[in-house]
Amino acid sequence: MLKTDLILRNPLRLISSQSEDGLSDGVFGAVLARAGVGKTAFLVQVSLNFLLRGKNVLHISLNDPIQKVNLWYQEVFGHLARQYNVKQVQELWESLLPHRFIMTFKVEGFSVPRLEERVTDLTEQKIFIPQMVIIDGLPFNASVRESLLLLKSLAYKRSLSVWFTVRTHRHEAPGPDGLPAQLENIADLFELAIQLKPKGEEIYVIALKGEKLPVADHALLLDPATMLIKKQDTVSVTD
């Protein structure tokens, strides 16, 4: 019952109706923001929602060691447990851990063939069979399309959905379609794109691609204090 409660209260359910989780097999999602705004915290909440459903999440970090990634999960889960007054915190936390696997690479050592080799090792030995993958820290440079195409093929083959963090820059103007420059030549590969947009003391969660969030009625914010996603009733996100 507790897990069901947390799932139903998850504000991410407002973003997309593509599936109950927002993404389905072979589908890509991206969270875009400047450095330090909360991309990793956002995706940890996406991951926790999958874990609460009993689904397996492979979290790949290209920047941080395993201990730091685990700390992100502990902090976000702790804030979530306090917000919803969860009583059996340790028991619930321990029930999620078998469904999560953290893997790290150095950026220069990451490649899709190497990732596929490690995933194959995990699955063939029945150590861990992922259903959703988070890739945190992949450089979205001019050559990223080739890697994304290989990842898309792997995602379909392994029945995975994949979330990415995408770092944007303040000085870069959006493209003609309104999407950040980092997605300009690869937007066709993504079914869902979400931007974290600071405005004053607030961080707005804006659906750029996929199911649009009706901001006139309600919006999502990332709380700077807890890094939890929260709802706000009537807001404006125009500059």
Q: What are the tens digits of pLDDT across the range 131-184? A: 999 999 999 998 999 999 999 999 999 999 999 999 999 888 887 777 899 998
Q: What is the pLDDT of residue 83?
A: 86
Confidence (pTM): 0.90
For the cut 60, the answer to whether the pLDDT of residue 239 exceeds it is no
Tell me how far the alpha carbon of residue 219 is from its chain's centroid.
Answer: 18
User: How far from 173 is each of 74, 181, 184, CA to CA, in Å?
Assistant: 36, 7, 11
Instruction: Give residue 169's identity as a one-letter amino acid code.
Output: H
Third-level CATH fold of 2-232? Rossmann fold (3.40.50)
Domain ranges, ordered by start, for the chain: 2-232
Task: Kindly indicate the confidence band of residue 99, based on its pLDDT and cuts at 50, 70 and 90.
Answer: very high
Q: In DSSP terms, which residues pair with 162 in a beta bridge?
A: 28, 133
Q: What is the pLDDT of residue 207?
A: 85
pLDDT tens digits along 18-60: 455 556 789 999 999 999 999 999 999 999 989 998 999 999 9
Q: Which tokens sit at 126?
A: 């029945």
Q: What is the pLDDT of residue 3?
A: 73
From the list 2, 41, 20, 34, the residue with the least C-alpha distance to 224 is 41
For the cut 80, the answer to whether the pLDDT of residue 95 exceeds it is yes
% of the chain surpassing 70 pLDDT: 84
pLDDT tens digits along 187-223: 999 998 999 999 888 899 988 887 555 444 457 889 9
User: How far from 32 is each of 79, 125, 128, 167, CA to CA, in Å?
Assistant: 23, 35, 28, 6
Kindly write down the DSSP assignment for every residue of the chain, as one continuous string: -HHHHHHHT-GGGGT--SSTTS--TT-EEEEEE-TTSSHHHHHHHHHHHHHHTT--EEEEESSS-HHHHHHHHHHHHHHHHHHTT-S-HHHHHHHHGGGEEEEE--GGG--HHHHHHHHHHHHHTTS---SEEEEES----TTHHHHHHHHHHHHHHHT-EEEEEEE--TTPPP-TTS--GGGTTTGGG-SEEEEEEEETTEEEEEEEESSPP-TTT-EEEE-TTT--EEEESS-----
For the cut 80, the answer to whether the pLDDT of residue 90 exceeds it is yes
Q: How far apart are CA 68 and CA 93, in angstroms?
A: 17
Q: What is the pLDDT of residue 211?
A: 59
Q: Are 87 and 44 in contact (CB under 8 A)?
A: no
Q: In DSSP terms, which residues pair with 204 in a beta bridge?
A: 197, 221
